[in-house]
Structure 1
Amino acid sequence: MNGLELISFQIISAVGTARSMYIEAIRLAKEGKIDDANKLMKEGEEIFIQGHHAHAELIQKEANGESSTITLLFMHAEDQLMSAEAFNIIAREFIDLYSIIHK
């Protein structure tokens, strides 16, 4: 496994876990467990950062002149990263709404 493949899997693993946590946080908020939802969001954001750092490492290498061959695996990793970021935004909105509903 080369460097790009390894980093791609690191991104996929971290942001996939984070995305799952964001979805679970929405479910918790729906049940009125707002504090638990917020804790899970925070944990998910910490894990997401790991994937973001791995992605930033690739960007930094390219900025230093080390070009990488773009693969389908890397494209999938970037897609998962963007999906997780979008779920974070959506989950925050849902948690805010559920916190109002469950007052």
Structure 2
Amino acid sequence: MENEQIIFEIILHAGNARAEAYEALKSAQNNEFDKSIEFIKNADNEIKIAHKSQTNMIQREINGEKVEMSLLFVHAQDHLMTAIAEKSLIENMINLYKRINILENK
């Protein structure tokens, strides 16, 4: 697989993960916590796909293949890192919404 294709896979799936995480947050804001869980699962799956692509490139370099470092590859890495960080933060925010919901219903 060409480097550019792998890079675009990382960007695509990291972007999908971010979108799913934000849908999870919107669901939590509407007290739809079951939906929220599903969106987070989808985000996890997208991150796994992106991470697998990233790992593929890293393994190619470890095996002696010259992997060209490009601004686009750095951009893809940034997308993946951001998606992981935002999903983690959103999961914590969802937990806060759950606690608020419980307290409001007491």
- TM-score, normalised to structure 1's length? 0.94
- The corresponding residue for 1:12 is 11
Residue 67 of structure 1, CA deviation: 2.2
- The corresponding residue for 1:45 is 44
Distance between the aligned counterparts of 1:69 and 1:60, measured in 2?
Answer: 13
Runs of 5+ consecutive residues of structure 1 not aligned to the other structure: none
Amino acid in the other structure paired with 1:28: S
Distance between the aligned counterparts of 2:101 and 2:14, measured in 1?
Answer: 29
Percent same amino acid at aligned positions?
A: 33
1:35-83 superposed Cα distances (whole Å, 9 cap, x missing partner) = 1101110011111110000000011111111121111111110000000
Say which one has the larger Rg.
2
- The corresponding residue for 2:85 is 86
Residue 31 of structure 1, CA deviation: 1.1
Runs of 5+ consecutive residues of structure 2 not aligned to the other structure: none
- The corresponding residue for 2:26 is 27
- TM-score, normalised to structure 2's length? 0.92
Residue 29 of structure 1, CA deviation: 0.5
Provide the secondary structure at the position in 1 that maps to 2:69. coil
Number of residue-to-residue matches in the alignment: 102
Stretches of 4+ aligned residues off by more than 6 angstroms:
none
Provide the secondary structure at the position in 2 that maps to 1:28. helix
